[in-house]
Each structure stands twice: as structure tokens, then as C-alpha cells.
Amino acid sequence: MKEKLLLLCLFFALAFKAQDIHFSMYNLSPLTMNPANTGNYKGDFRIMGNYRSQWKEISRAYNTYSIGGDMNFYPFNQNVSAGIFLVNDKSGGNLGITKVFVSGAYHKKIAGFKMSLGIQPGVVIKSLDINSHTFPNQLNWNSGAFDNSLPNNESFVRQKITYFDLNAGFNISKRIKKFEPEIGGSFFHLTTPNESFYAEKNKLPVRQIYFGSLRYYATDKVAVVPNTVVNVTTKANDWIFGLNLEYTLSKSTFFENKVFGGFMWRKGVQRISDAAIVNVGMKYSNYTIGFSYDINVSPLKTATSSKGAYEIALIYTGKNSRISKKQIPCDRY
């Protein structure tokens, strides 16, 4: 049964391969979402970590870890940011992907609009343990079983590949009375690197992400945030749309303490519904913590009993030492 589940999940993984590594709580994984998110927050520095576990019905099926941080600088009174993050992903326990990227961004306010431009160069390492698999040529005709000690006669050139990759992105937002719209776009694999384990080339196409949200401050304490994200590649796309609610518990000079929660829906290849996503979280002092769960609604739900993925995100944000409001003191008469 586990072998059938594995084959079925690998089929869906190939069908959705253009999605790349992704997190459902993309707003709590800012550096993997858009290079322009580097430093795009109120604070001096930020440290973040994410964990995603998918399809637990299969032992060690998909596990993704991410850790990173970024910092704001103000040379010549200009806001620039720098960061770094690492992503490690395991698929089926045998295919491993490690990414290490540095990230930089420039932020500028023009006519009330906050604009950000970002870039991310990095290195990607992919490895595959061939010895843990069996191939058709390894069928032992005497025993009737597969034996991975036999020659597989496959044309694998190597079991590990390393390549340079480059991402870029932009972000624009503005507060208009009770509304705060935000749009952004990011572009991955600008170098179209070759990721094949074989002699022939298999170049990654450029992947595009377009993001939009409209934060509505219904009251001083309540904000409603509809949002959407679209992933686009050559022959596949991934669309997430949903709604978040935020309730502010208290405010201080540096932080807003709040709770939040919401619901999202993800559609995948050929507009097939993939998952219903629920998320909850809390911001308190320097800390933000979030938890989400994907309920599988795709045809794969028969094999996974509708169990999808869960995620945990944790962010620590340092206080903002930059004065945001300036006043000229004067005597009163």
C-alpha cells in the first residue's frame, strides 16, 4: 500500500513540479516569496524559521525547512536591506534540495507609495541516493524480487548537482485612509539553470509569482485582508486566494500585539482544486508565530485520506531604532 501511495504522490509531484518549494503561509516566509520583502518591515532586524510537513501518510514523503534573517541599513539616509536564508527539502527521503541565497533590497517612498526592489543570488545543491532505489533492470529473475545490488544500467551521470541561481522582485504599497493596497511580483530562475542528473540538459524555466492584497482597517482594532497569489511557469500554474482577519489586542511604541486567522483555497494544474488552507497565529512583542493546515481536496485525497500538510512559522523582529515621526520642539506662549 505504501508503495502505491508513493507512486501516486510522485505522479502529483511531477505534475506540480513547476511550483518549486513553497509555503502556504507565504506571508510568514517573506524571503522565499519575494526578494523585495528583504527588510520590508518596521524594525532593525528580523530572524525567521519555517517548517512544512506534507503527506504524512507516506513515511518521510515531503519535509521542508527554512531559516533566515535580514537587516535594515540607512547609508546617506537611504533605506537598503540585506539578508540570507537557507532552505532544505527532502522528498521521499531520497531526493534532497539545499538552497543558500543572499538577498538585498532598496526601499523608497515616492508620492506616498512605498516601493521596493530586490535581488537574490544563490547556490542550489540537489542530490539523489540512487542506491536506495530499484530499477527494472534490477529484477532478480531467480527470486522474482528486485535487488538493488544488481547493476541498474541507468545513464545517471552524477548523484549530486550544484548550480547558481538568481531571483528578483518588486513590491508597491500605500496607505489610503482605511485602505492599504499592496501588489508585488517576483521572478525565479532568471539564469535558467540546468538541473538534470543526466547528460542531456533540463533547464529550469523562469517562474513568476504575482501577489496582491487589500488591507481594510474596519476599526482601530479589526483589519480585514483579502489576498491572492498566482504562480506561473511554462505549462503549469498555482493560484491561492483567501481572506485573513486581524484583531489588535494592544499597541505600544514599537509593536502591535494581535491575533490573526484566515482561510485560503489553492488551485493547481488545469484548475484542479488542490487544498483548503486554514491558518491562525499571534504577534506579541518581538515574536510572530503562525500555524496552518492544508486539507487535501485534489484527487489525491483518496490516497491521503484528505490529509495534506501542516506548517509552523516563527519570526523574531528587533525594535525599530529609526525615528518614524519628527517634530520641531518650540516654546508655547
- DSSP code string of 102-118: EEEEEEEEETTEEEEEE
Do the domain assignments include residue 15? yes
Q: Rounded to an integer, what distance in angstroms lies between the CA atom of residue 99 and that of residue 246?
A: 33
Residue 132: the pLDDT is 66
Positive or negative, the CA dihedral 323, 30, 46, 283 is positive
pLDDT tens digits along 45-104: 999 999 998 866 565 568 899 999 999 999 999 999 999 999 999 876 578 899 999 999
Q: How many domains does the chain divide into?
A: 1
Residue 165: the pLDDT is 97
The set of cell numbers assigned to 117 is 526592489
Other CB atoms within a 10 A radius of the CB of residue 321 amount to 10
Pick the closest to residue 28 from 46, 50, 7, 47 (CA basis). Answer: 50
* 176 Rama class: left (phi>0) / alpha (psi -120 to 50) / beta: beta
Report the CATH number at residue 274: 2.40.160.40
Do the domain assignments include residue 331? no
Other CB atoms within a 10 A radius of the CB of residue 281 amount to 23
Give residue 304's domain range.
2-317
pLDDT tens digits along 44-62: 999 999 999 886 656 556 8
* 318 secondary structure, DSSP code: -
* List of the chain residues with pLDDT < 70: 1-19, 55-61, 92-93, 131-138, 144, 147-149, 151-157, 236, 269-271, 299-307, 323-333
How many alpha carbons fall within 13 Å on the CB side of residue 282?
A: 4
Do the domain assignments include residue 100? yes
**Encoded amino acid at 137, one letter:** N
Helices (H), the chain: 2-15, 30-33, 301-304
The set of cell numbers assigned to 90 is 527532502
Do the domain assignments include residue 260? yes
Do the domain assignments include residue 333? no
Q: Rounded to an integer, what distance in angstroms lies between the CA atom of residue 255 and that of residue 128?
A: 45
Pick the closest to residue 107 from 173, 48, 45 (CA basis). Answer: 173
Residue 47: the pLDDT is 98
Residue 13: the pLDDT is 40
pTM: predicted TM-score of the whole model, two decimal places: 0.84
Do the domain assignments include residue 185? yes
Inter-residue contact 294 to 308 (CB < 8 Å): yes
Do the domain assignments include residue 323? no
Do the domain assignments include residue 105? yes
Residue 113: the pLDDT is 96
